[in-house]
Chains A and B, each alone.
Chain A
Amino acid sequence: MSIPKALQDRKFRSTSTGRLWEKLLVGLLAGCAVVTILITVGIIAMLVTQSWGFFASDAVTLEGFFWGKEWTALQSKDLDKARFGIGPLVSGTLRVTVIAMMIALPLGLVTAIYLSEFASSRIRNFLKPTLEVIAGIPTVVLGYFAILVISPSLQFLSGGELFDTFNATSAGIAVGILCLPMVCSLSEDAMRAVPRELREGAYGLGCTPFECSVKVVVPAALSGIISAFLLAFSRAVGETMVVALAAGTLPTFSADPTQQAQTMTGFIVEMIKSENEYGTVQYFSLYGVAITLFVITFAMTLAGQLIRRRFKESYA
């Protein structure tokens, strides 16, 4: 058999320029991928070098930084009187995060169960976009919602003076609303990956829908759900605009959710907003806070990703 005429007078071999071009393009694409690693390296290098100016200062000791219960970097211009103990900021972050998780985790998980086990396709088509819209709301809008609606409602419900205008609870609730779609969609993905045979087996043994979802599907999807929880936790810790608007600006070391609670991210924003001069120890303290924040969120995300990969039940 002969090759068609149109093809006969053409050479079908890669030219050397073509091969070079191909190599060049692949190299370019690999360069794009390398940029993502450079970003991580850049973040770590930036945080370490900049916070060096803070930790190397005589006014700061590592012990005092981690265990101190007073943080007055913004309030005291005088370095001798400034106290750098990250305790209040961590306690503020924890209060907001715990409240947010108390809202996002149960609600998100139950919504996910509903979406993956019970909801008809009509309700799904309605509910999923709603959650996507909530996920797409800018965080500054939720912060405004917290001071406009949540905080006054809390004051009204508790009968007046119990809650400050700015308090950890209202910020926590808003952050919880923010994390809910994330928990929901990640856990729903995990539950939908559970094969039908497991559910059918459970129903065949006489399980009610409740028992099937709580005793079979949720345990089968547990690794995905735990990783969703960890990712949401890290998101809540790193959330900035909501707490900057609604949680107040006073660092307080307590467990009282009705008080003001400056968080780590809230402090960074306040420091940037303030007129503190570049180069002072007080200014560099924001990098000390930032590196703490980064380590916490990075560890959480890494753990979440690793759990998801390592303990992925495969039903293939």
Chain B
Amino acid sequence: MSMPAALTDQDEVFQAENAAKRKRLSRVFYGVCVSIAMLSIVVLVVLLLSISWQGKTRLSSDLLRNAHSELEIEKAGMSPAIIGSLCICGVCAFAALPLGVGTAIFLEEFQPTSKPLRWLHGFVQLNIANLAGVPSIVYGLLGLSVFVFMFNVFGRIQVNESSGLELTGVTHFYQLLSLESGQTVLVPRTDLQQKTIKLESPTAGFSPSGAPIQIGIWEPGTPKPTDVNVRRRTVRKGALGGAYSKHAWYYFRLPFGQSFLAAGLTLALVILPIIIISSQEALRSVSPSLREASLGLGATRWQTARNVTLPAAMPGIMTGSILAMGRAIGEAAPILVVLGAAVAKNSGPQHLMDSVVTMPVLIFNWAGRQQHEFKELAAAAIIILLIVLLVLNSIAIFIRQKMQQPG
């Protein structure tokens, strides 16, 4: 058999040179590939080293115990932020996991057969892919409208005022100064329109700790009671009392206002597409023969999903969900929009409607300041955040390894 003319026309020297050139090019390309691929490792190493170098001096127990402080920068810490991040993530997981896994089961296990339903199915699928691409700050604005203000249906939340629709967990009082300096007594408040009262006659009330007491009245001009316990529950005649509310931990109102509940639900919207997509992948990877066997035994589709597919897909779903939670912990923009940029908070949330600080928002605040001390603090806080993420990711990897073993 003879070679094609196009190949025999060229002389051997040219061919050999050409081949050598092409091989050289290929080797150069391979070198470029290796070096660029290693570049990402270099970037990661530089990032970790520079941040730990910057933050190493501030990694102390103060960081974990104290709160943010403008004045005592050397003692400032991030303990409310850690608690806040965990609370928000809890709410987020509580809302996003059932919703996301439910959607994934519906999309994977109940594939419709009729044409319009299939179209709808495809539309939902495309919609989820699009939601995954929406910038997180837009979700923040959505959360601001939906959860924080609830479209202003229930009125606006005003500072230091009970407003909105309070459902449970709150008792309203008037607070009055007693004769003992620094001590107060509480008088129950029934009319919410009336902001202050003037106390003229003895009445039943409560001590600050909530014990019922009889509030006595002291007429100016008469001798003051001397006993401390009596002085504690006695007020001057005509004393003015201001509005004061006590919130139990289950305090609940609509709209949610700038509360960690609102922030957690907003974050749930952000990670919902991620959970759906990863759960779908996990469900899809379950062998169809399992599903068919279950259906063949007479199980309904839901029974199949509940007893066969879901347990088989569980490791994948859990891995995906944990990674999504990692994303939620590190997310700052939507929380910044929902809760505002304030970081002055001394403790974690006191009740469901309480505002919190989260780690990324605190880092953003510290990193944006000019003082060198705050930059170091930011680096130290980043180290803590990365450690939390590392723990989460290790759990995910562990689950994946553990559950993937056959048997």
Interface residues of A (CB under 8 A from B): 12, 14, 18, 22, 25-26, 28-30, 32-33, 35-37, 39-40, 42-43, 46-47, 50, 107, 110-111, 113-115, 118-119, 123, 127, 130-131, 133-134, 136-145, 147-149, 177, 180-181, 208-211, 214, 231, 234-235, 237-241, 244-245, 265, 268-269, 272-273, 286-287, 290, 293-294, 297-298, 300-302, 304-305
Residue on B nearest A114 in the bound complex, by CB: B33
Question: Are A245 and B127 touching (Cβ within 8 A)?
Answer: no
Any A CB within 8 A of the CB of B226: no
Any A CB within 8 A of the CB of B37: yes
Contact with A along B44-56 (1 / 0, CB 8 A): 1011001100100
Q: State A254–B48 Cα separation when bound (angstroms).
A: 34
What residues of chain B lie closer than 8 Å to A240, measured between beta carbons?
Answer: 135-137, 332-333
Question: Are A36 and B135 touching (Cβ within 8 A)?
Answer: no
Identify 18 residue pairs between A and B in the complex whose beta-carbon atoms are under 8 Å apart, listed by A's number. Answer: A32-B100, A36-B273, A39-B269, A107-B39, A107-B40, A119-B37, A123-B37, A138-B385, A141-B385, A149-B46, A208-B25, A209-B26, A210-B26, A210-B29, A211-B22, A268-B141, A294-B134, A294-B138
What residues of chain B lie closer than 8 Å to A115, measured between beta carbons?
Answer: 37
Given contacts A26-B301, A272-B336, A298-B134, 7 further A-B pairs with CB under 8 A are: A32-B102, A46-B141, A137-B330, A141-B385, A208-B22, A265-B137, A293-B138
Q: In the complex, what's the smallest C-beta–C-beta distance from B82 to chain A, in angstroms?
A: 14
What residues of chain A lie closer than 8 Å to B43, measured between beta carbons?
Answer: 134, 177
Q: State A4–B186 Cα separation when bound (angstroms).
A: 75
Residue on B nearest A43 in the bound complex, by CB: B142
Q: State A141–B380 Cα separation when bound (angstroms).
A: 11
- Chain A interface: which of B104-112, B176-184, B283-291, B344-352? B104-112
Question: Are B138 and A272 touching (Cβ within 8 A)?
Answer: no
Question: Are B44 and A130 touching (Cβ within 8 A)?
Answer: yes
Q: In the complex, what's the smallest C-beta–C-beta distance from B236 to chain A, in angstroms?
A: 39
Q: In the complex, what's the smallest C-beta–C-beta distance from B113 to chain A, in angstroms?
A: 14
What residues of chain B lie closer than 8 Å to A214, measured between beta carbons?
Answer: 29
- Chain A interface: which of B164-172, B192-200, B362-370? B362-370
6 pairs of A and B residues whose beta carbons are closest in the complex: A238-B135, A138-B330, A301-B133, A32-B102, A208-B26, A210-B26
Q: Contacts A46-B142, A110-B36, A268-B137 given: A29-B331 contact, CB under 8 Å?
A: no
Q: State A297–B130 Cα separation when bound (angstroms).
A: 9
Q: State A208–B379 Cα separation when bound (angstroms).
A: 47
Any A CB within 8 A of the CB of B87: no
Question: Are A235 and B134 touching (Cβ within 8 A)?
Answer: no
Interface of chain A, helix or strand or loop or mixed?
helix
Q: State A37–B273 Cα separation when bound (angstroms).
A: 11
Question: Are A143 and B367 touching (Cβ within 8 A)?
Answer: yes
What residues of chain A lie closer than 8 Å to B36, measured between beta carbons?
Answer: 107, 110-111, 114
Q: Contacts A36-B276, A46-B146, A265-B333 given: A245-B367 contact, CB under 8 Å?
A: yes
Question: Are A134 and B40 touching (Cβ within 8 A)?
Answer: yes
Q: State A22–B364 Cα separation when bound (angstroms).
A: 48
Question: Are A131 and B341 touching (Cβ within 8 A)?
Answer: no
Any A CB within 8 A of the CB of B360: yes
Partner of A238, one of B99, B138, B382, B393: B138
Interface of chain B, helix or strand or loop or mixed?
helix
Q: State A149–B51 Cα separation when bound (angstroms).
A: 9
Q: State A136–B390 Cα separation when bound (angstroms).
A: 10
Q: Contacts A110-B37, A238-B134 given: A50-B145 contact, CB under 8 Å?
A: yes
What residues of chain A lie closer than 8 Å to B363, measured between beta carbons?
Answer: 140-141, 144
Q: State A234–B327 Cα separation when bound (angstroms).
A: 18
Residue on B nearest A147 in the bound complex, by CB: B367
Q: Contacts A113-B33, A140-B360 given: A269-B326 contact, CB under 8 Å?
A: no
Partner of A36, one of B105, B272, B333, B336: B272
Question: Are B332 and A140 touching (Cβ within 8 A)?
Answer: yes
Any A CB within 8 A of the CB of B83: no
Residue on A nearest B390 in the bound complex, by CB: A133
Any A CB within 8 A of the CB of B6: no
Q: In the complex, what's the smallest C-beta–C-beta distance from B93 to chain A, in angstroms?
A: 16
Q: Contacts A140-B332, A208-B26 given: A231-B33 contact, CB under 8 Å?
A: no
Considering residues B139, B272, B330, which has the most beta carbons from chain A within 10 angstroms of its beta carbon? B330
What residues of chain A lie closer than 8 Å to B131, measured between beta carbons?
Answer: 36, 39-40
Question: Are B340 and A305 touching (Cβ within 8 A)?
Answer: no
Q: Contacts A131-B40, A208-B22, A237-B135 given: A302-B130 contact, CB under 8 Å?
A: yes
Question: Are A130 and B40 touching (Cβ within 8 A)?
Answer: yes
Any A CB within 8 A of the CB of B337: yes
Any A CB within 8 A of the CB of B128: yes
Q: State A65–B107 Cα separation when bound (angstroms).
A: 41
What residues of chain A lie closer than 8 Å to B29, measured between beta carbons?
Answer: 209-210, 214
Q: State A32–B133 Cα separation when bound (angstroms).
A: 20
Question: Are B103 and A35 touching (Cβ within 8 A)?
Answer: yes
Any A CB within 8 A of the CB of B387: no
Question: Are B364 and A29 touching (Cβ within 8 A)?
Answer: no
Q: State A113–B33 Cα separation when bound (angstroms).
A: 8
Question: Are B136 and A238 touching (Cβ within 8 A)?
Answer: yes
Question: Are A305 and B336 touching (Cβ within 8 A)?
Answer: no
Q: In the complex, what's the smallest C-beta–C-beta distance from A170 to chain B, in angstroms?
A: 13
Any A CB within 8 A of the CB of B126: yes
Q: Contacts A111-B37, A272-B336 given: A22-B103 contact, CB under 8 Å?
A: no
Q: In the complex, what's the smallest C-beta–C-beta distance from A246 to chain B, in angstroms?
A: 9
Question: Are A301 and B130 touching (Cβ within 8 A)?
Answer: yes
Q: In the complex, what's the smallest C-beta–C-beta distance from B277 to chain A, in angstroms?
A: 11
Q: State A134–B48 Cα separation when bound (angstroms).
A: 11
Any A CB within 8 A of the CB of B250: no
Residue on B nearest A23 in the bound complex, by CB: B302
Any A CB within 8 A of the CB of B67: no
Any A CB within 8 A of the CB of B386: yes
Question: Are B333 and A127 touching (Cβ within 8 A)?
Answer: no
What residues of chain B lie closer than 8 Å to A300, measured between beta carbons?
Answer: 133
Partner of A29, one of B106, B141, B323: B106
What residues of chain A lie closer than 8 Å to B100, measured between beta carbons?
Answer: 32
Considering residues A141, A145, A231, A244, which has the most beta carbons from chain B within 10 angstroms of its beta carbon? A141
Question: Are A14 and B327 touching (Cβ within 8 A)?
Answer: no
Question: Are A180 and B135 touching (Cβ within 8 A)?
Answer: no
Q: State A251–B326 Cα separation when bound (angstroms).
A: 33
